[in-house]
Amino acid sequence: MTVSDPAARCFYEVEAAREGWSSRELERQIASLLYERLAASRNQDAVLALAHRGQEVVTPQDVVKDPVVLEFLGLPERPQWRERDLEQSIIDHLQEFLLELGKGFCFVARQKRIKLDGDHFFVDLVLYNRLLRSFVLIDLKLGKLTHRDLGQLQMYVNWYDRTQRESHEEPTVGIALCSRKNDAVVRMTLPEGEKRILAARYEVLLPSAAELEAVVQKGRQAAMVRR
């Protein structure tokens, strides 16, 4: 293996054996710096646990990567995209998308309609995570994430909690998946300590190692500030 960091190498060995990755999938996960992306927001003890035990899904934060790398969609860079184009490409590559998201995800629905006193709203993607035992709603955004987008996602989550969730299930998780976001806006929009509404960026091209390293460092710095 070309992974020089012993902790990262141990992580990939554990995950490849546990998840049954093909050599091609293993190479992709190494190239996309999966270990570094997962480790970015963890403290030292959690990083050591990640290296030796692999990815464990206990909280909603455990299933979110930032960025989510979607190079397998094959979407070329162009100035005009529609959210339905991104959504359709994800559906066409659903297996790869669920693998990139992480462990325990199952597909439930796309464009799930919510009707509120005659008004209709549509959730882009509805997933279920069997490890969290909760619905996971994904709202796709092409541009910069706004406070209105987060408010809309909160409404979707509230509706699922109040009308779809069974008593044995955990509260619904909402993920705003966007091409750009302002972390300060996210923090100020959501209630302090909110753990069920999350925001993450996506990349349609595989970033370079240097670009991903910069993102990882930014994530670690942000995590230190929050602690």
Alpha carbons 226 and 189: distance in angstroms, whole number: 16
Domain ranges of the chain: 1-56+208-227, 68-206
CATH 3.40.1350.10 applies to domain 68-206: yes
Q: What is the pLDDT of residue 156?
A: 96
Q: Out of 29-33, 166-170, 213-217, pick the least confident.
A: 213-217
> For the segment 147-180, what is each residue's pLDDT rounded down to a tens digit?
999 999 999 999 999 999 999 999 999 999 998 8
Using one digit for the tens of pLDDT, what is the confidence trace for 53-68? 887 777 877 777 778 8
